Structures are given as C-alpha cells and as structure tokens.
Structure 1
Amino acid sequence: MFKKLFSKIKNKAPLDSRVIIDSNAPIGADGVLTQTFGIRIYDGTIAPFSKVGESYPSKGSYSFSTDEDLQNQITLEFHRSSEAKATFESLIGQLRIRGYKLEEAREPLVRVHYEISNNQIVIWVTNEKNNGELSVSIVKNNEGSSVH
C-alpha cells in the first residue's frame, strides 16, 4: 500500500520545477488538438509529442539522453504548428536540461513531461536514473531571443 502511495508522489513534479513554455497556446477546440506540439529534429521537421486530432487537454512524456560522451546539457527546441515543418513562426521556446551525472553518450536518461491544457504548454523533467538533480531553463523564447 505504501509503495503505491510513494510511487505516485515520486512521479509528481513539484510546481516550482514546471516551466510554462507557451502561456498563449489556443491549440484545442471541441476536445481535440488543432495543432501539433513537439520538438524540432535534425531534418527540420517537428517530431510530435501530441498531434492534430488527438484529445485535448493532453499530457505525456518522452525520454531523452545525450549524443556525446560527458555532454553536460540536453537542449530541445519546442514548436507548435499545423504544419509538419518547424519554422521561425512555430517556435515556442528552446529549453536546456542540466544536472545529470556526466557519463558516456546515451547513458544519462531524463524524462521530459508535458501538459497541454488551459491554453498553456507546461514542461518539467525527471531523472530516470536518479543520478543528479535536474534543472530546466528557457534558453530562447518564442521570438528566438536568448533569455539565459
């Protein structure tokens, strides 16, 4: 009984660790998403976390890791759009994740959680290997300006 209770508490993010990356995200209508939300990948497309037509509000998570040995941060560029291609207009922010133990490539493992509701997109991160306290910060805003 206690194990279930503690596992629920452990998976909840403290409110102060959540980052609102889009405070004006009117991407839901009549209980469905009207735009895709996701990250820009190497070929310039949006790898969707949530797709047009899926239910709104929406939430989920994805795991990420590093590409290089001893990489000290993971940077993700978030977009929302009705198009598959990431553009300057679809950019809603770039986030930096730090605080995990420096290891070989693909060894650190962080989980990025998102929630789309109330015309907002909120992000928080958890460390799947519990090897450091993670921090997430906004590097660029929706206008492409550096904010760090």
Structure 2
Amino acid sequence: MPIDASQLPSLPGDIAPGQLNDRMGIEILSATLEEVRGRMPVEGNRQPYGLLHGGASGVLAETLGSVLAALHSLPERFPVGLELACTHHRAATEGWVTGVARPLHVGRSTSTHEIVLTDDQGRRTCTAKLTCLHRDTRPAG
C-alpha cells in the first residue's frame, strides 16, 4: 500500500502534489534512513517502441534517491540533485518497476545513493547512482 508524502518521517508536509512524480504514477511504498522503496507503472511511461522509457527510469531513481537524501538532511539542510547516472540493463514492457534506494555515502554537504530498479519478475532493469548537494537554504521556486 503506497504512503503519501505527509507520512514520510522528518519531511515537511509541503511536498507538492501534481508534480512529475504524480504524473508518472510514482508511489512511495516505504521510507527509512536505510532505504526508500517506490514503484512506477510501465504503462504511460513507455517510449514509442513500447519499452519503458529510460528517462522514466531516471525520474523514478531520482525521486527515490532524493527522498532518501531529504530524510538524511532536512530540516537543517535542503538536498538538490547534483548528478544522476543510470545504466539500463533490460527493458520492461508491462506491469510495474520497483525501486530501492540505499545510501552509499551521507555527509554534511553531499550524499550519494544507489537505486536499483527491478521489473515484476524481480529482474534488474536499471542501476542508478544519485549524488545530492545539501544546501543551507531551500532554492527559490
């Protein structure tokens, strides 16, 4: 059962609904300091040839990694994505893609997370690494 943003520990309740994560159908399933789990439907997120779009995998990975960075840095600091690298291993064509983000490094000014995406059969579809900068202030906008 998905959780909503207001249920995430240590995160403000002002995670904006109606943004990219909602448009892509991303659901956060669980969130702790050790890992963040979420999923996204393949349907509606395919490229023209019927395969899950690589950019969609990147969006899911960055969403999960950013939530994990926020759990470690808020409210004193505010995380923003600095670098995202994705390796696509296999295509997903239907069902859901599930992601698990785990910290590789958590420091005061940066954090790096590994995010593994799998299809409904448990096969790895993508491995991503996200590095976030922890800013002293929230960016405008």
Identify the TM-score tier after normalising by the shorter chain. 0.3 to 0.5
How high is the TM-score relative to the length of structure 2?
0.40
Q: Between Structure 1 and Structure 2, which shows a larger proportion of helix residues? A: 2
Q: Between Structure 1 and Structure 2, which shows a larger proportion of strand residues? A: 1
Q: Which has the higher contact order (CA 8 A, sep 6+)?
A: 1
How high is the TM-score relative to the length of structure 1?
0.39
